[in-house]
Amino acid sequence: MTYDDKVKRIIEEIVRERDWREREFSVMKGIYLRLKENEKSLKTYATMCIPIIYAHWEGFCVTIFRHVCDFVNQQNLNHDQLSISLFTFSKSRTYDYLKGKQSFEQRCKFSKSFIDALNANTIVIPNRFNTKSNLKYDMLGEMLEIFELDANEVVKYKRDLNKLVEIRNHIAHGENSIIVSERILLDNMTLVLSLIDELIVIFENFLNNKSYLKCE
C-alpha cells in the first residue's frame, strides 16, 4: 500500500466518525419535532441535547487526535525526523521532572529520560489529548499547536464554540435558567459539523504534506 493510500484510508475512517455523528444529530432533530406538542418534555429534552452536542464535538477531537498520532507513530520516526512540537509533546511527562523546585534526583531523571529519547530508534507520540472537558477555542488551539497547526484557520468559529461550551457547562453544573430554543439546537449542531469538516481538511493536508516531519 502506498503512502497516499494509507492517508486516504485513515481519512476515510475519520470521515466515518463524522458521518455517524451527523446521523445522531438527525435523530435528535426528529425527536425534538415529535415532542413539539409537549412543551414541558420539549424543554427538558432540548436542555439535554446541549451536553450531547458538546460530547460529539469533544469526542471527535479526541478521536482525530488519536488517529493522526497513531498514523505518525506508524512512520517509525526518530527525534531527528520528527517535528520539534511533536517530539516535545512525546516527552511531556519527562518535563514534569522540572516542575517546581527540583531535587538533584529529579534533574537526573529528566536527563536520563531525555538522553534515552535521543538514542531511541523510534519516538512514540502519546495518542491521548486531555481536553479537560472544556474544549473551547483556546483548548482547540493547544491541540493544533502540537501539530504546528494554526487555530486561526478556524477562528471564525471562536465565539460560537466558546458559547456552546459555556451553555454546556451551565447545564452540567445544574443551572436551570438556560432556555434552549430550536434555533440554538440547530445552530450548534451546524457549528459542530462545520468545525469537524474544517478539522478533517486541516489534518488531511497535514498528513498529505508530511507536516509531522522536522523542517530542514
- Contacts of 16-21 with CB under 8 Å at 24 or more apart are 17/60, 17/63, 17/64, 18/60, 18/193, 18/196, 18/197, 18/200, 21/56, 21/59, 21/60, 21/192, 21/193, 21/196
- Report how far Cα 208 is from the mean position of its chain's Cα atoms: 19
**144 pLDDT above the threshold of 90:** yes
Mean model confidence pLDDT for the chain: 92
In this prediction, residue 26 carries a pLDDT of 97
Angle at 57 between CA 55 and CA 58, to 5 degrees: 65
* Coil, strand or helix at 34: helix
Per-residue DSSP letter, 14? H
Q: Where are the domains of the chain?
A: 3-76+130-208
pLDDT tens for residues 174-211? Answer: 777 788 999 999 999 999 999 999 999 999 999 999 99
Averaging pLDDT over each range in 2-16, 31-45, 84-98, which range is the top one?
Answer: 2-16
